[in-house]
């Protein structure tokens, strides 16, 4: 059954929220509790920051960037017509390899190039002390400009990558054709308590000279994460190397865990500084949420509408790591979304 939600808020105006036919309204007041615009603003700060003025820092191009590592799936790409390529951004602790299954499905069904990127401080991309959404978005923008695509790309992101993708289209509204966010919303939240525990466990594995096998490492990770899928995902952070002193194999990290842990505990990963009064993107936007996850809670739907009025939401029976748990379902939703909007 299709449910209808209507809220009447003084000083509000209605927008269309495409969630199985749900309609809602939103307040146009200056303070939003789910946003944390605490950057270089010129107004008095509210409890979570004032959102009354444009923060030029958020859209600045004067930001140190790195050249991102990427790979492309093009086996089924059409040689006869130019199509919008798809760019996929992974989440924290991830890499471009996490999205290979989705990339292959999208390439085959949509017959276009699908690029997977390694974000800064992940995979094969360079390490840099700064790790926030403005910096990550600037990296992606640099990568897109360097490719000189014939058609505007479709940008897809999961978790940290989703907030980065949202940041790109808000910073550069003419750069992308469509947006897909997998299990993240444009809101500032409390930092995830599980992420620092993951870092601590991974560091424990790396620093333990008696840790030689994947089975030992998986057992260590079990103390902080019950899900086998998530533990296998975290194992991709580790790399086996031969200890020159003992001649035995042990683990090292592929990514700078110290930099990432610092970004997590400081709130950079959970943060969201953009202002819906001045930052809005009206292009087609799809939000895919895991029904077992809290990253796109019902109360965040109005926040999505403020930034991305032309949006829709689809649910997948999965947790936060839905791109790994249910890649086929996620890819099918993305294909349907892209085909409908390209035909319109």
Give the residue-averaged pLDDT of 274-301: 95
Give the residue-averaged pLDDT of 96-118: 97
Instruction: Point out the least confidently predicted range of 139-143, 268-272, 274-278.
Output: 274-278
pLDDT tens figures, 124-138: 999 999 999 999 999
Cβ atoms of residues 141 and 175 within 8 Å = yes
How far apart are the C-alpha atoms of 137 and 129, rounded to whole Å? 15
Using the predicted structure, report yes or no on whether residue 27 has a pLDDT greater than 60: no
pTM: 0.84
Q: What are phi and psi of 217, to 5 degrees?
A: -65, -40
- Give the pLDDT of residue 26: 31
> The dihedral of CA 174, 178, 183, 187: what is its sign?
positive
- Give the pLDDT of residue 297: 94
- Report the top-level CATH class of 64-189+316-343: alpha beta
Question: What does the DSSP assignment read for 267-278?
Answer: TTTT-----TTT
Using the predicted structure, report yes or no on whether residue 47 has a pLDDT greater than 80: no
**Confidence bin at 53 (pLDDT 50/70/90):** low
Catalytic residue ranges: 159, 320
- Give the pLDDT of residue 192: 81
Using the predicted structure, report yes or no on whether residue 106 has a pLDDT greater than 50: yes
- Give the pLDDT of residue 39: 43
How far apart are the C-alpha atoms of 209 and 250, rounded to whole Å? 7
pLDDT tens figures, 153-167: 999 999 999 999 999
Using the predicted structure, report yes or no on whether residue 52 has a pLDDT greater than 50: no
Using the predicted structure, report yes or no on whether residue 187 has a pLDDT greater than 90: yes
Q: Indicate the domain borders of the chain.
A: 64-189+316-343, 194-263
Count other C-beta atoms under 10 Å from residue 230's C-beta.
Answer: 20
- The rounded Cα 120 to chain-centroid distance in angstroms is 13
**Confidence bin at 329 (pLDDT 50/70/90):** very high
Close Cβ partners of 173 (under 8 Å, ≥ 6 residues apart) = 281, 283
Cβ atoms of residues 66 and 95 within 8 Å = no
- Give the pLDDT of residue 10: 33
């Amino acid at each position: 059954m299709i449910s209808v939600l209507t809220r009447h808020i003084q000083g509000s105006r209605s927008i269309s929220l495409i969630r199985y036919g749900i309609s809602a309204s939103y307040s146009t007041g200056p303070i939003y509790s789910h946003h944390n615009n605490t950057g270089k603003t010129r107004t008095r700060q509210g409890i979570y920051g004032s959102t009354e003025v444009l923060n030029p820092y958020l859209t600045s191009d004067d930001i140190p960037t790195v050249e991102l590592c990427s790979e492309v799936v093009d086996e089924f790409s059409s040689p006869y017509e130019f199509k919008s390529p798809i760019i996929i951004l992974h989440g924290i602790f991830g890499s471009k390899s996490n999205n290979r299954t989705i990339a292959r499905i999208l390439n085959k069904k949509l017959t276009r190039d699908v690029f997977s990127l390694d974000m800064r401080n992940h995979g094969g991309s360079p390490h840099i002390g700064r790790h926030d959404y403005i910096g990550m978005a600037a990296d992606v923008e640099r990568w897109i400009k360097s490719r000189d695509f014939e058609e505007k790309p479709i940008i897809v992101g999961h978790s940290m990558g989703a907030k980065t993708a949202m940041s790109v289209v808000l910073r550069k509204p003419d750069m992308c054709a469509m947006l897909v966010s997998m299990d993240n919303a444009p809101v500032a939240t409390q930092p995830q308590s599980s992420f620092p525990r993951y870092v601590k466990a991974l560091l424990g594995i790396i620093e333990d000279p008696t840790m030689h096998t994947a089975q030992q490492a998986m057992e260590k990770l079990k103390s902080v994460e019950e899900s086998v899928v998530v533990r296998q995902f975290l194992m991709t952070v580790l790399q086996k190397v031969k200890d020159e002193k003992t001649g035995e194999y042990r683990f090292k990290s592929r990514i700078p865990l110290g930099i990432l842990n610092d970004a997590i505990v400081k709130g950079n990963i959970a943060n969201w500084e953009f202002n819906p009064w001045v930052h809005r993107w009206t292009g087609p936007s799809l939000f895919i949420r895991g029904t077992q996850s809290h990253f796109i809670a019902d109360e965040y739907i109005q926040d999505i509408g403020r930034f991305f009025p032309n949006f829709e939401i689809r649910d997948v029976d999965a947790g936060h790591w839905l791109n790994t748990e249910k890649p086929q379902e996620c890819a099918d939703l993305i294909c349907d979304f892209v085909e409908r909007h390209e035909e319109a």
